[in-house]
Amino acid sequence: MTTFTDWDVIRNLIYSLPWTLGLSLIAFVGGGILGAILLLARLSGNKYVVMLIKGYVQVFQGTPVLMQLFLVYFGIALFGIQTSPLLAATVCYSLYASAFFTEIWHGSVKSIPRGQWEASSSLALTFFQQLRYIIFPVAIRISLPPTIGFMVQIIKNTSLASVIGFVELTRTGQMITNITYEPFFVYGVVSLFYFSICFPISVVGKKLENKYRFIQ
């Protein structure tokens, strides 16, 4: 039987960091792309599409992430596809993030005065030109702080993927605890790791919020 020194604990937790960061990145990119598509669909203004997307957002905001993970995990299996925790987590977090991103971005687009839309359409700009040259340059600045704030949420929520057996920081912490019986130390270190990832991002988010406050 081998013994675990404190350094072994920390080293193994460091090895699991890429999985937490990787999953967060996948969720951020996947959710961002899907969220942008949903945003465009919602802005195009078809009544049924808007209703559908509102329902989609409501479902993801009104149910626990844990529940969504399990549903995706077992749901994919229903179609006869072999599910791995990685696949389920990727799909679930991308969908989850997309729902929040559309909501955040839609809010920032909506906060731009109607006059800007009207002025730009009186200049005979097409819908996409309006977005590209008039709406998005401002909307992106408004939406930047909450988007970064949500990034912290994603990183924290990837910890729930441990429950479906995705081996990231939290799961590794659990496994090490099962060997060393030192939950106080191990979960303390795990918390410290999460904190040192999330805190700088939070600070940047807050800085940007103060910087762009003048726009609203």
Partner 1 sequence: MFDFSVLVDAWRMFLDGLLMTIFLTIVGCSIGTIIGASCAWGSVYGSRWLKLLINIYVEVFRNTPFIVQLFFIFFGLASINLRMGAVAASIFALAINLGAYACEICRAGILATPKGQYEAASSLSLNRFQIFMYVVIPPALARVWPALVSQLIIMLLATSVCSQVSTEELFYVANLISSQTFRSFESLGFVTLLYLLLAMAFRQILFWFGPAFIFGKVKF
Per CB under 8 A, residues contacting partner 1 are 58-59, 61-68, 70-71, 74-75, 78, 152, 156-157, 159-160, 162-163, 170, 173-174, 177, 181-184, 186-188, 190-191, 194-195, 198-199, 202
The least distance separating partner 1 from the CB of residue 55, rounded to whole angstroms, comes to: 10
The least distance separating partner 1 from the CB of residue 107, rounded to whole angstroms, comes to: 13
> How many other C-beta atoms can be found within 10 angstroms of the C-beta atom of residue 145?
21
| All residues at 6 or more sequence positions from 185 whose CB lies less than 8 Å from its CB, including other chains | 6, 9
The least distance separating partner 1 from the CB of residue 93, rounded to whole angstroms, comes to: 13
Instruction: Identify which of residues 54 and 156 has a Cβ nearer to partner 1 in the complex.
Output: 156
Instruction: Identify which of residues 93 and 135 has a Cβ nearer to partner 1 in the complex.
Output: 93
DSSP string of 40-55, one letter each residue:
HHHHHT-HHHHHHHHH
> How many other C-beta atoms can be found within 10 angstroms of the C-beta atom of residue 142?
20
Instruction: Identify which of residues 77 and 123 has a Cβ nearer to partner 1 in the complex.
Output: 77
Give Cα 123 to chain centroid, integer Å. Answer: 37
Rounded Cα distance, 66 and 170, in Å: 14
